[in-house]
A = this chain, B = another copy of it.
Amino acid sequence: MKNFEDRLREYQLKATPQRIAITKLLDEKGHLNIDTLYNLLKEDFTSLSLATIYKNINIMMEKSFVKEVKLPNRKSVYELQKEHHSHLVCKKCNKIEDIYIQNIECFYDEVNQKTDFAIESSDITVIGLCKQCR
C-alpha cells in the first residue's frame, strides 16, 4: 500500500494530520468504532474533537475510502475500503477477522434458483469462536 497521504489524496481527501492518523489506525487495527477511534486519537491529538471524527468518517464513507460494518449486538465499526470480503466475529473476545471467500457462487446459485432476484452484492457476517477462544 502507498503511504497514507497519497492514498487519501487519491480519494479526493485532503491529507490532514487527523485524517492520516485515522487512516493509520484503521489500517493497523482493522475495525474500529467511533469511540475507540476517538479515544486512541486523543492520545496524539489532545484537542481533538469528536465532531472531527464524525465529519471525517462521514466524508471518507462518501468517497468510498472507508466502509461501515454493521454487526449484530454491537456498535458499527469502520474499516478501510478493500477487496470485497466477509467478517468472522468472535462472540467471546469480540475480535473481527476478514475472510476472502471465493466460493459464494454456490449459494448465489441457490438464490437464483429460488427467486427472481438480481444479485448485486452480499454482506456476510459469521458469528462464532475464534482460534484462541474456541
Residues of chain A at the chain B interface (Cβ within 8 Å):
68, 70-72, 88, 90-91, 97, 99, 101-104, 106-107, 109-111, 114-131, 134
Contacts and interface: CB of A to CB of B under 8 A. Distances in A.
How many copies of the polypeptide does the oligomer hold? 2
Given A99-B114, A102-B110, 8 more contacts: A91-B120, A101-B107, A103-B110, A107-B124, A116-B130, A117-B129, A120-B127, A121-B128
A104 B125 CA distance: 13
Nearest to A61: B73
A88 B116 CA distance: 11
B122 A126 contact: yes
B128 A117 contact: yes
Contacts of A126: 111, 117, 119, 121-123
